[in-house]
Amino acid sequence: MVAIPVASGITDIDVLDTHAAVSVWRVGDSILGPENQPVLSAIHRLLCTGLPCGQPVFFYGPSGCGKTHLARALVKLWRQRENRRSAKYVYSVDFARELAEAIDTKTADEFRERYRRLSFLSVDDVHLLQGRTAAEEELARTLDVLVEAEAAVVMTAAVAPERLNGLVAHLQSRLVAGLAVPVALPGLEARREILRALATSRKMVLEDGVLEALAEGLRGGIPALSGALSRLEAAAQMDGQPITVEAVRRVLKARPGRPRPSIAEIATAAAKYFSLRVRDLRGPSRRQTIVTARDVAMYLARTVTRASLHQIGQYFAGRDHTTVAHACRKTERLLASDGFVRSAVDQLRERLEYDSP
């Protein structure tokens, strides 16, 4: 384990030498692989450069990618820096609850003082505030104060800030003005090190070959990795045998299969990802956000299901098969040139993951 050169007071960012050509970083309790190099760059800028913060850093990605671990770890690291204590992590729903309680008990001024004097605020899953207008407006005003004071602000959500159309305009514009950084699900190298850390925490001794077989055979985020490790541990205890590569293969083979998603399930997942309604995707609107979401849904329906162009078009309000074909070709081109579309397709594929025959 070799420490990355960082600013004074930050000692818990390390690089794990796991492969001759690839590095995996440990940031507090978070483990980041090469697929998350932009995340590490954002962390370095936030914690190590000493530059004024100015705007929120917004981490977004699918469930299981490690956003919550990251949001908590950054608060811990900030507190270590020059012994700063005025840092806070809060789950967005808890922020809304605390505000409601403060209003009920007539302690709103104390609530605001508690949040607005912070040097670092980390709010997790901010997308869950959509529809909670009082909390959204309060958070927006809190960010105004913190940004003016050049405090550090970290937000996390399932999607990019420009896709959080359900937030009040003031809050969304403040988030859009920040640095948005996608957080990818862990790749092979990161999965290996996450599994190693999980095994160590459970006092499981696993050979490198076992870790490699698990990392290669699994996909998804931290919950999926933890669940697979639990099944492997339970099987080994039941059989009274050591955990071997062959045992890993048996556990992986025994996983329950998932059927191919339907067109309706794909449309639902795409609508949720883009913060839209399914009826928006099936409707006539030509608004750019809706068109992009509809095209992505049609592309995934074509590539993930066995549905014909005609069947896909029928689901999307009877659109002609040539319209579906055009949407698929357009999305295919954008995958090579548009990072947002590529991230949307990749993340939706992960959510819709199925076992092919």
Convert the pLDDT of each residue in 96-118 to its tens digit. 999 999 999 999 999 999 999 99
SS3 percent helix, strand, coil of the chain, rounded to 5, is 55, 10, 30
Predicted pLDDT at 242: 81
Q: Are residues 242 and 269 in the same domain?
A: no
Does the pTM surpass 0.95? The reply is no
The structure tokens listed for 149 are 């004071």
Domain stop point among 161, 182, 203: 182
Q: Is the same domain home to 52 and 167?
A: yes
In a domain, residue 171? The reply is yes
Query: Residue 146 maps to which CATH number?
Result: 3.40.50.300
Q: Among 128, 162, 182, where does a domain finish?
A: 182
Buried b (16+ CB within 10 A) or exposed e, 67-80: bbbbbbbbbebbbb
Here the CATH number for the domain that contains residue 207 is 1.10.8.60
In angstroms, what is the C-alpha Rg of the chain?
A: 22
50 vs 191, more confident? 191
In whole angstroms, what is the distance from residue 195 CA to residue 31 CA? 10
DSSP secondary-structure letter at 64?
T
Residues 151 and 200 both lie in one domain: no
Instruction: Give the CA diameter of the chain.
Output: 63
**What does the mean pLDDT of the chain come to?**
84
| Same domain as 172, residue 273 | no
Range of the domain at 142: 16-182
Q: What is the CATH number of the domain that holds 343?
A: 1.10.1750.10
Q: Do the Cβ atoms of 156 and 60 come closer than 8 Å?
A: yes
Q: Which residues, other chains included, contact 250 with Cβ-Cβ below 8 Å and sequence gap of 6+?
A: 235
DSSP letters spanning 248-278: HHHHHHTSPP-PPPPHHHHHHHHHHHTT--H
Question: What gap in Å lies between CA 208 and CA 212, rounded to an integer?
Answer: 6
Residue 173 lies in a domain: yes
My answer on whether 156 and 118 are in the same domain is: yes
Ranges of beta strands (E only) in 81-138 are 87-91, 120-124
| Domain count within the chain | 3
Same domain, 172 and 35: yes
Q: Identify the helix (H) or strand (E) that includes residue 179.
A: strand 179-182
Same domain for 140 and 283?
no
Phi-psi group of 153: left, alpha or beta (phi > 0 → left; psi -120 to 50 → alpha; rest → beta): beta
Same domain flag for 59 and 91 = yes
Whether residue 63 is found in the same domain as residue 142: yes
Domain boundary among 152, 182, 212: 182
Give the confidence band of 20 by pLDDT, cuts at 50, 70, 90.
very low
pLDDT at 44: 85
If asked whether residues 152 and 176 sit together in one domain, one would say yes
Q: Which of 223, 218, 197 lies closest to 68 in space, CA to CA? A: 223
Query: What pLDDT score was predicted for residue 248?
Result: 84
Torsions phi, psi for 318 (to 5 deg):
75, 25
Model pLDDT for residues 327-340, shown as the tens digit of each residue: 999 999 988 787 77
DSSP state of 162: G
- Domain for residue 331, yes or no? yes
Q: What pLDDT is stored for residue 17 in this prediction?
A: 42
Q: Based on the domain organization, do 332 and 234 belong to the same domain? A: no
> Are residues 132 and 108 both part of a single domain?
yes
Higher pLDDT, 35 or 255: 35
